[in-house]
Amino acid sequence: MNTASTDTPRIWGGTTLATRQKARREKLVEVGLDLLGTPGATLSVRAACRSAQLTERYFYESFPDRDALVLAVYEELADEVRQVLDEAASEGDPAEVARRSIEALVTLMVDDRRKGRVLLVAPLTEAVLAQPSQALLPALGELIRSKLPRSTPAEQRTLISVGLLGSLTALFYAYLEGGMQVTREQLVDHCIAVLNHAGHLAG
């Protein structure tokens, strides 16, 4: 009588099927970031498979179509944004939080320009990212709201935070696309000044 459990994962090459599937998916997401975040590159199922050195069979094991990969790449980066902002706002006075937050965003989105382009440029051309990109805005808006006096009316806080969010987004976009000839340090200092000015706008 065979008493071996049918639930025991089958091992091949020292790893389980689930582990290999996870590794293949992670590889596809990584090459998806490369292709989506590199100017002149094209993200397609065939291009992703070629870059990941996988057959299309393994692509469809992880994603139903090309848009699903685009969405997976974006959502992973959006989670990174939320995480770094949460960590930056964990403690400290408002000025310190502002500096840490901007530094964290620049490290994530400028030091690795692929990520910045996926977060800021790709939503302009990828229809599948329209809704997720809008869902990310509250996390960034909250960074600005945290600089406003609590006594500021809610409507005014909303107007100010949305306006300044647009300003910061435009600054990052222009920097990534080469539209501004400034240093990284100048970008960081200016963005921090923009945030610090939020309180004055509240009157």
What is the separation, in whole angstroms, between the first and last Cα of the chain? 81
The reported pTM is 0.85
CA–CA separation, 33 vs 2, rounded Å?
47
* pLDDT tens-digit map of 106-152: 999 999 999 999 999 999 999 999 999 988 888 778 777 776 777 77
Question: What angle is formed at CA 42 by the lines to CA 54 and CA 183, rounded to 5 degrees?
Answer: 115
> What architecture is the 12-63 domain classified under in CATH?
Orthogonal Bundle (1.10)
Assign domain 68-201 to its CATH superfamily.
Answer: Tetracycline Repressor, domain 2 (1.10.357.10)
pLDDT of residue 43: 97
Q: Side chain identity at 120, as an amino acid letter? A: L
* pLDDT tens-digit map of 2-22: 444 445 566 656 678 889 999
User: Under 8 Å CB-to-CB from 200, ≥6 apart: which residues?
Assistant: none
* pLDDT tens-digit map of 80-109: 998 998 888 777 777 788 889 899 999 999
C-beta contacts of 103-112 below 8 A and 24+ residues apart: 103/188, 105/81, 105/172, 105/191, 106/184, 106/187, 106/188, 106/191, 108/77, 108/80, 108/81, 108/84, 109/81, 109/172, 109/176, 110/172, 110/175, 110/176, 110/184, 110/187, 111/184
Tokens representing 145 are 């709201």
- In what helix (H) or strand (E) does residue 75 lie, and over which residues does it extend? helix 66-88
Region 174-192: mean pLDDT is 91
In degrees to the nearest 10, what's the CA dihedral of 93, 96, 101, 106? 170
CA–CA separation, 70 vs 86, rounded Å?
25
Task: Give the other-Cβ count within 10 Å of 105's Cβ.
Answer: 22
pLDDT at 1 over 90: no
pLDDT at 155 over 90: no
Cβ 35 vs Cβ 27: under 8 Å? no
Enumerate the domain spans of the chain: 12-63, 68-201
Task: Tally the C-alpha atoms within 13 A of residue 176's C-alpha that lie toward its C-beta.
Answer: 27
